[in-house]
Amino acid sequence: MLNFVTPNRRTVWDTYTIKDDWTVNFFIATSQLHASSNMIKLMLSNYQYRMFRYSEDGKNFKIGYGVGDPTGNGFTEAESYSAWIDDLKDREWKFKKTLPLISATQAQYDTLFSLYYNTGTWKKVTSDVGTYDVLTAILNQRWLLAADMIADGKVNPTMRRAEARVLQLADYTTSKDRIFLRNEGISYALNQYTGGIINTELSKRQCETGYYRQTTAFIPGMSNLRQRELIAQFGQL
């Protein structure tokens, strides 16, 4: 594995402003650290809210924010978020068991956890030029090098660069909050349904149910019979 980043692939971090000195520089016992609310918001922005099931590989189905039972009713955004948070907390507990650090800054902890959650490991990052040895960099307290390694990752590069900004600058900036994700998910469902793109009966029924429960309105084009079924099942919302 690679233990360096060539100069042309590194970031000149000194040209940027640290958003929060405490988050970047103050060390806390790792046993007392948890993913910050800012990091959770940034991590969530990497996902999309889908009220009906979808597949990224044509085989395995997901729903909500990628977590939950894809064979049940359509998910509201609140249900999707709750399922995602439960999954995040479960995986954070597993992540902590892999950390060799007695203490870390909030920025360091947040960055490594996000990397772990999104890729399955924080110990290495794959780039166009090879695989970086993030573990060794961190064990040697070379956090600037670790940031450059992460920023150069090619798997979900937008998120990798965001994690590097957190590590070096405590910059958790994202424009995609839950309101944005909810509204985008509603718009996506509407377009998919009315455009006739949903091609299975289960997905169609999930979309009808999720849209009704999320917006309290019937999705355009739904039959009167189906409307009566939803009212009988969930009441007049």
Domain boundaries of the chain, sorted by first residue: 17-169, 178-234
pLDDT in tens, 150-187: 999 999 999 999 999 999 999 999 999 999 999 999 99
**CATH dotted code for 17-169:** 1.10.530.40
CB atoms inside a 10 Å sphere around CB 237? 12
pLDDT beyond 90 at 230? yes
Which pair of tokens denotes residue 71?
């064979």
pLDDT beyond 90 at 199? no
Which pair of tokens denotes residue 33?
């650290």
Q: What is the pLDDT of residue 58?
A: 77
pLDDT beyond 90 at 59? no
Give 152's contacts (C-beta < 8 A, 6+ positions apart).
Answer: 5, 9, 125, 127, 128, 129, 132, 160
Please name the helix (run of DSSP H) or strand (run of DSSP E) that holds residue 22, with its range, or none.
helix 21-25
